[in-house]
Amino acid sequence: MSHDLSEAQDTDGIHVLVKRGSGPAAARLRAEGETLALARHPGVVELISMEDDLDEVTLHVAQVTGRTLLDHPPLNARQLAAVFAEVSQTLADLHALGIAHTNLGAEHIILDRHLHATLCGFGSASRVDGQPTIAPAAPAEKVDDATRLDVIALGRLLDREVARSLDDQLSEDREPAIIALRHIADLADCATDKNRVVEMHQLARRLHQIAGTVPDDPRPASGGGSTPLLDRLRDGLDGSGRAIGGVLVAAAIAATIFAVWPNGSSAAHGPGTVTITTQRSATASTTAPVSATDDSEEREPSLVLDTRPSCEPIESSAERADVDGDGCDEAWWRVGSVLAVGNERYSLGDPDDLVTLGDWDCDGVATPALVNGSTGDVFLFAAWASDGGSEVAEFVATVDLADTLVTTADGDCDVLTISTTSGESHTFSGGA
């Protein structure tokens, strides 16, 4: 008995995973292949081909670029709602086809760089009520013990991810979306009682409402590109008109789901070697000044439109800096070697490094400053990494026994002040 997993690339240039099994493993792979062939869903890993010679079965499955939810950094409330809305919608669609995953875990949810979810791990999938319905006349689910397992598993995964989000201070305990997500997790757990019917499509509908998404948002199979979720209006938490947990949310959401780049320490620190890596696609907007003018010889009073933007409030627990040059500060956190800026994540330095943000070169955009925790090397970044690339910071100086970093404004620029454990202070700006 054997079950091997390897990577390969077919003649068309498609990256695939090759799963090969013999003996009892062959039967398991055969069942998985038949399930994937039946599913053919944009939220399910794609089956490219299956070779079956009775003694050995080989599956070629499209390789999804991304990270599993198990290995992914924590997400904020809005991101969690969007991710679990997709997962629950995919499962509801599968249930309507007569397929239950039955082994849903964080390791079976792959998130791409746009935080779109693809399900894998269908080796234990179950057919609901015998033969599945290939083209159901209605989206009604086939409810049995197998689908209950999916509902329960989704609720417990959601509860786990909410706890991680709170622990990393990406969300607040009394945030309306968090309260709603916890309610859904509790509702899913009610499926443990066989006298209560909790169906996946009910959870999907409520999660879509929280995320401000709709079930038919277009996206390609197996995590290619996506349409960002922009300027959605979140107007309620329960489609039936009854607020979940008595909480109604009426807030305009301008949230693009950005990629989370794999964590990892930077290269060995030294002059010119610190990098910040991300997938970034933020845009900045400004309002052009409009003034009333007069051709008369004497100057008349004029009315000038205020160009200062209307900025969204930032929760008190977050640091803040204008990272996109739009005149408004964005929230940012440092969690280990991950720098969280709004909905984006960057891999930067090591957990014991000191990091802060500031506008070091007077261009209106705040960028990181980093002090290596072991060497005291100081780096100022001139820009953010873009489109999956890396931005390399130039070495500025070495400060021994660095203890704290403080950013202060000096005209149109910011100044970095480094205090040491010996009571000394050092200031840097403009990359010098």
pLDDT of 170 strictly over 90: yes
Mean pLDDT of the chain: 74
What is the average per-residue pLDDT within 149-175? 94
pLDDT reported for residue 245: 32
Q: What is the pLDDT of residue 123?
A: 86
pLDDT digits (tens, 9 = 90+) for 287-312: 333 333 444 445 566 565 555 556 77
Q: So what CATH class is 2-62?
A: alpha beta
d(CA 384, CA 348): 11
Q: Residue 248 phi/psi, 5° resolution?
A: -110, 135
pLDDT in the model for residue 231: 28
| Pair 263, 277: CB distance under 8 Å | no
Give the CA radius of gyration of the chain: 26
CATH of segment(s) 67-130+138-253: 1.10.510.10
Does pLDDT of 265 surpass 50? no
146, 102 Cβ separation under 8 angstroms: yes
Residue (of 108, 76, 107) closest to 90 by Cα position: 108
| Residue indicated by tokens 């930077």 | 266
pLDDT, tens only, 19-76: 888 888 888 888 899 999 988 888 999 888 889 887 899 998 888 888 999 999 999 9
State yes or no: pLDDT of 160 exceeds 70. Answer: yes
Domain boundaries, the chain: 2-62, 67-130+138-253, 260-281+319-432
Residue 119 and residue 47: Cα distance in Å, rounded?
A: 12
> pLDDT confidence of 412, banded at 50, 70, 90?
confident
What the block records as the tokens of 149 is 């397992």
Copy the structure tokens of residue 316: 């008190």
- b/e string for 217-254 if b means 16 or more Cβ within 10 A? bebeebbeebeebeebebebbbeeeeebeebebeeebe
CA max distance for the chain: 97
Between 240 and 101, residue with greater pLDDT: 101
The pLDDT of residue 219 is above 60: no
268-277 pLDDT, tens digit each: 334 444 565 5
10 Å CB burial of residue 24 (0-12, 13-18, 19+) is exposed
Q: Which of the residue ranges 261-265, 276-280, 339-343 would you say has the lowest mean pLDDT?
A: 261-265
Going 36 to 149 to 200 to 224, the CA torsion angle's sign is: negative
pLDDT digits (tens, 9 = 90+) for 68-117: 999 999 999 999 999 999 999 999 999 998 999 999 999 999 998 889 99
Q: What is the pTM of this model?
A: 0.50
**CA 354, CA 20: separation in Å to the nearest integer?**
47
Alpha helices in 168-293 (DSSP H): 176-189, 200-211
